[in-house]
Structure 1
Amino acid sequence: MGWPPPPFLAPAPPLVRQGGVRSFEGVTYASTPGYRPRLLDAHVPASEHPVPAVVWIHGGGWLEGDRRFPPPTVPVELLHGMVLGAGLALVTIDYRHSLEAPFPAQLHDVKAAIRYVRRFAADLGIDKDRIGVWGESAGGHLAALAGLVRADGSEAAAALEGAEGVRDEDSAVRAVVDWYGVTDVGPLLSHALPPSPSGAEYPNPFTALLGGTTEQHPELARAASPVTYAGTASPPPFLLIHGTADGLVPYSQSEVLAEALERAGGQVTLQPVEGADHIFLGTPDVTPIVSESVAFLARHLGADPGVIGRR
């Protein structure tokens, strides 16, 4: 005997923190039998009016990671403080890892989270028409896909949109920040990976994402590559930030997407971080990088930094 999927209800009343910031924590935005529920946290600055929102997508090679923790080079307080201080809500999300379910499950979850935020925007105090995405590493890859893959009514688009969680909302976003994300999966299947910091054997993140090699899944590798969709009509503005000495995801990956977006007439800024490795290792201070990213999102989402403290 089967049971119907759980209803996706409005989030419970928030915790009210210092400065009137409202935090909705551990909200279930999607649930699939046999998998852990997918959760999000929403932190919303005090305001008399709905505010724009940024959906943060964590990294971890699609194999690990947690919505609550940025990369170790970026303090939680810095990320949260800058986003909220700019008058933006911050929505951090979990998604299925690749050994739980291969691609496109991760994109399905990201899109389900955006649809949930849009459905319950009034309860959260968010403007549903001003949502952007920001991701790092695997999350940057998913952020780029979320910005470029549109629900256009085609069978191919429906396969990438997914049917998890809230279904009858749009998953489009107005701006994308992608930190050192993969943009073309195929060439990286043969890319030599640096050794695991712990010395333990670590699954190849690219074959784990696809559930096999490019030779086994050539169409899936193409479908998982943001560059495939760079010719999408009217893509949202993109900010790509990438270390030039990245040993895990080469800087050329961001160059490829930037060039493809430029050819399609898209608005894109590629910002190299000279000498930086993955997660900006080797950079003495990531504060300017976070500040530039927040400023980009605030500008394109029309944020009002004066909302902080205004009741």
Structure 2
Amino acid sequence: MDAEIYSPFTVTTTPYKTVNSQPIPLYVLLPKTLPSGPAPIIIHIHGGFLFAGNALYPDWSTSWSRRYNLEHNAIRISANYRLAPEATGLEILSDIRDLLTWVENDLAGCLKSIGSDTTPDLERVLVYGESAGGYLAIQAGLMRSDLVKAVVACYPMTYLDSPWYAEIGDKHPFGIPTINREETLDKYLATMDRGKIVTESDPYARMPLAVAALQNGLFPEILGKEDEIYPARVLEKMSGKEKVPFLFTMHGTEDSAVPAEETRRFAQAWEEKFGKGRVVAKFEKGEHGFDGEVEYEAPWLQEGLKAVTKAWIG
């Protein structure tokens, strides 16, 4: 943990579920300025292509998101989850569902146990994530629209069955060269302990696995082909009359890891299904993770966050 980045928060860790006798942790971050009484909640889900990363990896923590959190005196929950290829897509989604259930049923007791006189306001829940975390934030909003009021999905993975993820191709996220599949992914899969789960990693240690899977079009094979893994398919099955969270999504137009056009397409599908006013989509010049350098006062960001705040807090 980077003490400087997280110094405005008091951080507590606790498991929210156990799989194969291995606990999966989350981190409760309380602003040190947090008053007593009810407080809104931000659930943060990290990125990493679903293969890598951890909840508090400092290089992926944007200044704007921390400032927004502090501005609204929100309880932040940052969670790990099972990673591919050890975990399937359905297993990862089950972690997100259990995370939401923990927030709903156990967060209040956790706060009390650490001596906090703050209580969680379950009527004001926001889910925020970037990249793979953006995908999981969208999924969280769709699976628990009764709980989640708003979703912020930064450069999210959306169409994981598109050619970008499902076909062999010339793909070089961040300029990474072609990775030898046999020497990386196939070798790892052949020796992988199927009973062991992985819930966090140094992002760069496992990124070759993710890039090899991407370049060889193996995401559907690794994650599974069930419809619920793919949010666009979930949308297609909905009538449009369902209550869904407000969605704010952003994407860098020069993204080499996750196609910006797929986010544009998904936002359009969301609007067509649920109506104008249920989504704001912003596309700005920049690479994957472009918002790491964005000023909090940027007009386009403030426009999106204003709509998020209205849906989340009222």
1:87 and 1:131 map into 2 onto residues whose CA distance is 13
- The equivalent of 2:68 in structure 1 is 82
Q: Does 1:25 align with 2:12?
A: yes
Amino acid aligned to 1:258: A
Distance 1:195 1:218, change over 3 A: closer
Between the aligned residues of both structures, percent identity stands at 24
* 1:249 partner SS: coil
Distance 1:218 1:49, change over 3 A: closer
What whole-Å deviation, never above 9, does each CA across 1:258-299 have from its counterpart, x for those lacking one?
Answer: 1111111241111111x2111117x85343376556544432
What whole-Å deviation, never above 9, does each CA across 1:80-110 have from its counterpart, x for those lacking one?
Answer: 2331222222111111111231212222112
- The equivalent of 1:143 in structure 2 is 137
1:69 and 1:248 map into 2 onto residues whose CA distance is 19
Distance 1:215 1:143, change over 3 A: closer
Judge conservation of contact 1:183–1:256 (CA < 8 Å) in 2. no
2:212 and 2:305 map into 1 onto residues whose CA distance is 29
Unpaired segments of 5 or more residues in structure 1?
Answer: 1-16, 152-169, 304-311
Amino acid aligned to 2:15: T
- The equivalent of 1:50 in structure 2 is 38
Judge conservation of contact 1:177–1:293 (CA < 8 Å) in 2. no
From 182, 194, 201, give the equivalent of 2:157: 182
2:87 and 2:224 map into 1 onto residues whose CA distance is 18
- The equivalent of 2:282 in structure 1 is 271
Judge conservation of contact 1:180–1:242 (CA < 8 Å) in 2. yes
Amino acid aligned to 2:267: A
Unpaired segments of 5 or more residues in structure 2?
Answer: 1-5, 112-118, 180-207
* 2:209 partner SS: coil
1:161-180 map, 5 Å:
172-180=147-155
* 1:37 partner SS: strand
From 191, 203, 215, give the equivalent of 2:209: 203
Deviation at 1:205, TM superposition (A): 5.6
Deviation at 1:127, TM superposition (A): 0.7
Distance 1:25 1:216, change over 3 A: closer
Deviation at 1:79, TM superposition (A): 3.1
Judge conservation of contact 2:55–2:78 (CA < 8 Å) in 1. yes
Judge conservation of contact 2:173–2:257 (CA < 8 Å) in 1. no
Distance 1:91 1:102, change over 3 A: same
Distance 1:121 1:73, change over 3 A: closer
1:301 and 1:53 map into 2 onto residues whose CA distance is 9
Distance 1:215 1:284, change over 3 A: closer
- The equivalent of 2:312 in structure 1 is 301
From 254, 260, 263, give the equivalent of 1:254: 263
* 1:193 partner SS: coil
Moved more, 80-89 or 260-269: 80-89
Deviation at 1:146, TM superposition (A): 0.8
- The equivalent of 2:77 in structure 1 is 91
Q: Does 1:193 align with 2:171?
A: yes
- The equivalent of 2:54 in structure 1 is 66
Judge conservation of contact 1:30–1:39 (CA < 8 Å) in 2. no
Deviation at 1:214, TM superposition (A): 4.0
Q: For the aligned residues, what is the CA RMSD? A: 3.2
Deviation at 1:149, TM superposition (A): 2.5
1:95 and 1:298 map into 2 onto residues whose CA distance is 27
Amino acid aligned to 1:229: V
Judge conservation of contact 2:90–2:224 (CA < 8 Å) in 1. no
* 2:126 partner SS: strand
Moved more, 138-147 or 249-258: 249-258
